[in-house]
Amino acid sequence: MKKIGVISAVLDDPIRTSQKFNDMISEFQHIIRGRMGIPFAEEHISVVSITVCGTLDEINELTGKLGNISGVTVKTAISKKTI
């Protein structure tokens, strides 16, 4: 059963963390439906929102791997509805 979710991430030092972050996103492109990134150049922070559709295990695995990147804070909201 698949769920729809939104993964929000804050990259505290995007110059240092964006390559690892983007590589991880590429590995999970099969569950990603959309992505929006907002740079805060003066604050040296980026905010990224990723819309996903996948199993709970897939969504949790992606969230965990992104959260393990130093300088990245991640939170996930998952719909109660299954598709």
pLDDT of amino acid 1? 95
Q: Dihedrals φ, ψ of 15, to 5°? A: -60, -40
Phi, psi for 75 (deg, rounded to 5): -135, 150
Residue 78, pLDDT score: 98
Q: Domain 3-82 classified CATH 3.30.70.1150? A: yes
Give the model confidence (pLDDT) of 9-62 as tens digits.
999 999 999 999 999 999 999 999 999 999 999 999 999 999 999 999 999 999
Which residues, including other chains, have CB under 8 Å from residue 66's CB and lie 6 or more apart? 7, 9, 21, 24, 25, 72, 74
pLDDT at position 58, please?
98
What are the domain boundaries of the chain? Answer: 3-82
Position 8 scores a pLDDT of 98
Average pLDDT over every residue of 49-76: 98
How far is the CA of 29 from the CAs of 21, 41, 79, in angstroms?
12, 26, 19
Angle between helices 56-67 and 14-27 (to 10 degrees): 160
